Chain A
């Protein structure tokens, strides 16, 4: 029993990371109807930025804040330069472009920082809590994710920019007629997604160690989480991410060899898409033809 609870808690910590990245994916999907395959590599790159800042002697949380700001600007720039031209292009073009971005970020990181594993500091002390049920690191990761969620909720619910962004995502034409600069809102959406992804990267790096391929598996789990929760629903993304984290941990611990972990993600994706394509919380997509 004790071991099971331990597995569940460490699953929740991993799930919190997947949930953050899933949230970033959902934000971009809602705003631009795109699935951003480069989200994981963007997060990985942001983590390298944080790593450089920490190595330069900045205190951890200062580096954290600065990285989020840099990622936000980076995300906006990418939207403006790379994504805008394919906004209304066929799905294939959009997929190919984000896959291209994935490769470029991966290669850029490999070229700038080499492919060797780097240790990344954790901001949380390494202690066990509640009779060894969970570690402070796990608790810290879950706490940061929840805090981020709360901030995002407040932002979208109570600020004028948040309202404008929701309007721009829901109905770009009408929003434009109301005087909302839709293009700028989409860029802000990409910026926010990049910043959320950066949080995910920084939280997972102390566990996985930092290297250019760090986020490959994480991205797959995040996709699974986003689909499970319903790719249109931010709450769904978080719940889905947590479920995937716990499932992954339990399956890996009790059922099958851990080398098939990614295959479990594949099976989960297929199952969700076949039996519940809108996920747990997603809205059914109705198209007018």
Chain B
């Protein structure tokens, strides 16, 4: 055997093995994901209505956090004001339903459009703001949101907000309102995650990450920085706005005091906890936002804020990539070692 052949075998075999393994891993992954989805569909039928409602909230927050992850995690534009876009989506849905009698499911596309447009409009001046400045502007936006909602009271109902008609499940299905809304939100969440994955794992995602990591190098490689940054802002706002619309539909009520700075910061904490540049981390974040402040509220009025603050510090120091990011990192660190071990055995 010549050296060249030897080399060819040595290098091709692990590759082929890797490809086989890749296929197997891919197949297992699909099966696992399908099983998870099946479990998520079955879950509400085993729980009380209240728990189903809580889980619906978790998924709504997850969609909102996913929106923030696209902007802050993948594109590096810091937003402390996503509660504003959430409010925009919620009020779009509420006004359409309340004033114009639009059915609840038909409010989602207009809410998405309105929030996309708002995001792009906000993203245009944001092109000129770097890092902390953008954080500052969006912080101001978060603080101003409840005031603006109260001020335009002919549309928003001012301080009292808008009460919506309770959405009912289609009679054919014979399931209660909570379970039906859970399933609706679940479908929106799955579609959102799929869309986000397609966008972020392709050309657009690479462009967004390149802009985050080195804007000048990205521009030099021919990436239209302004276009992608604005696009990221619009898309991110779209996701969060859809979440807001869902929240208005599920809760059946909107009022300015639900959209304070605390909500915006909740999204940021959820994002940091789940993993800021991940897609599935958004679900972890959703669980955190829904359950942790509730538990903390039992301790004292001030406790939710304190826990948010401490969690932020803790995650930045100990686990800057969040729960999902750290797990992915761990898996990645283990994998090449296994491959290397396989190669060693072959050479003996």
Contact = CB atoms under 8 A, between A and B. Distances in A.
The yes or no verdict on A and B being binding partners is yes
Interface of A: 34-35, 37, 82, 85-86, 89, 91-97, 99-104, 106-108, 110-111, 115, 216-217, 220, 223, 227, 257, 259-260, 262-263, 265-266, 269-270, 273-274, 277, 289
Given A96-B272, A115-B301, A273-B125, A260 B151 contact: yes
B135 A95 contact: yes
A220 B151 contact: no
B144 interface: yes
A268 B223 CA distance: 32
Contact of A100 (B150, B300, B316): B316
B132 A86 contact: no
Given A111-B300, A269-B140, A273-B129, A259 B150 contact: yes
Contacts of A89: 316, 320
B76 interface: yes
B309 A100 contact: yes
A223 B136 contact: yes
Given A96-B268, A96-B316, A257-B151, A104 B310 contact: yes
Contacts of A106: 302, 305, 309
A84 to B, nearest CB: 11
Contacts of B43: none
B309 A103 contact: yes
B80 interface: yes
Contacts of A108: 302, 306
Contacts of B315: 96
B50 interface: no
Interface string B279-303: 0000000000000000000001111
B309 A37 contact: no
Given A95-B135, A106-B302, 13 more contacts: A91-B132, A91-B135, A93-B320, A103-B309, A104-B313, A107-B302, A108-B306, A111-B300, A227-B136, A265-B144, A270-B137, A273-B128, A274-B125
A103 B268 CA distance: 13
Contact of A273 (B137, B150, B300, B303): B137
A142 B154 CA distance: 41
Nearest to A36: B132
Contacts, number: 131
Contact of A266 (B144, B151, B312, B317): B144
Interface in B67-83: 72, 76, 78, 80
Contacts of B310: 100, 104
A167 to B, nearest CB: 24
Contact of A220 (B78, B143, B304, B320): B143
B interface, size bucket:
35 or more
Contacts of B186: none
Contacts of B128: 273-274, 277
A277 B127 CA distance: 12
Interface string B104-127: 000000000000000000000100
Which of B136, B141, B151, B315 has the largest number of chain A CB atoms within 10 A? B136
A141 to B, nearest CB: 24
A259 B147 contact: yes
Contact of A111 (B140, B144, B302, B320): B302
A263 B312 contact: no
Contacts of A277: 128-129, 133
B133 A100 contact: no
Nearest to B261: A216
Given A91-B132, A223-B136, A269-B140, A107 B78 contact: no
Of all A-B residue pairs in the complex, the 4 with the closest CB atoms, nearest first, are: A103-B309, A100-B312, A107-B306, A91-B131
Which of A97, A260, A273 has the largest number of chain B CB atoms within 10 A? A273
B28 to A, nearest CB: 34
7 contacts: A97-B316, A102-B309, A103-B312, A111-B300, A220-B143, A262-B147, A266-B137
Contacts of A93: 316, 320
B140 A265 contact: yes
B139 interface: yes
Contacts of B301: 110, 115
Contacts of A111: 300, 302-303, 306
A111 B147 CA distance: 27
Contacts of A92: 72, 76, 78, 131, 276
Contacts of A269: 136-137, 140
Contacts of A100: 308-313, 316
A259 B151 CA distance: 8
B156 to A, nearest CB: 13
A263 B72 contact: no
A102 B313 CA distance: 11
B326 to A, nearest CB: 15
A86 B72 CA distance: 18
Contacts of A110: 301-302, 305
B305 A107 contact: yes
B265 A103 contact: yes
Given A85-B317, A97-B313, A107-B309, A266 B140 contact: yes
Interface string B315-328: 11100100000000
Contacts of B76: 92
B140 A220 contact: yes
B216 interface: yes
A81 to B, nearest CB: 10
A99 B261 CA distance: 11
Nearest to B310: A104
Contact of B147 (A34, A35, A99, A260): A260
